[in-house]
Amino acid sequence: MAERYFVVREDLLPEGILKTEQAKELLRRGEAGTIHEAAERVGLSRSAFYKYKDGVYPLEQAAREQIATLAMDLEHRSGVLFRVLGMMAQSGGNVLTISQSMPLQGIANVVVTLEISGLPGTLSELVDRLRSQEGVKRAAVVGRS
């Protein structure tokens, strides 16, 4: 099922969702050093924070962020993944998550979730540059939000 999004007026949101965003704001501003501290300061359990944290954003922040998921097949050689991640960073991308499979027959599958609002060009241009890197056998966009 495809993800669905709703715009909801703040006064209609459950307290746990509001407090989650308040805790995230404390963390963003550096007013709380840990999730535990931020949750405690706003009167929220850590389990509630973790339940809502990836789905709650102020509208203006959600509009700014763009996230893409890339899947790549990389040769299992020293430095290949390092160069790929370096290229993403130099291109203005910010790696959010990375997952790598165990190499089979000298190839490892790598899935990277990347914040792409800082890219000077298009996502397609980044993927084309990745494909041209030595050791990259395949690179494709598998998701975007």
Average pLDDT in the 45-55 region?
A: 89
Measured between alpha carbons, how far is 21 from 35 in angstroms, rounded to an integer? Answer: 12
Where are the extended beta strands (E) located within 90-135? 94-100, 107-115
pLDDT at 4 over 80: no
pLDDT value of residue 41: 96
Does pTM surpass 0.75?
A: no
Token pair in block for residue 116 = 């792409």
Note the residue count of the chain: 145
Token pair in block for residue 8 = 């909801």
| 97-140: pLDDT as tens digits | 999 999 999 999 999 999 888 888 888 899 999 999 999 999 99
Measured between alpha carbons, how far is 18 from 95 in angstroms, rounded to an integer? Answer: 27
Cα first-last separation, the chain: 15
pLDDT value of residue 110: 96
CA distances in angstroms from 2 to 56, 144, 145, listed in the order given: 17, 12, 11
Measured between alpha carbons, how far is 114 from 68 in angstroms, rounded to an integer? Answer: 5
Q: Which stretch of DSSP H or E encloses residue 70?
A: strand 67-75
pLDDT value of residue 61: 57
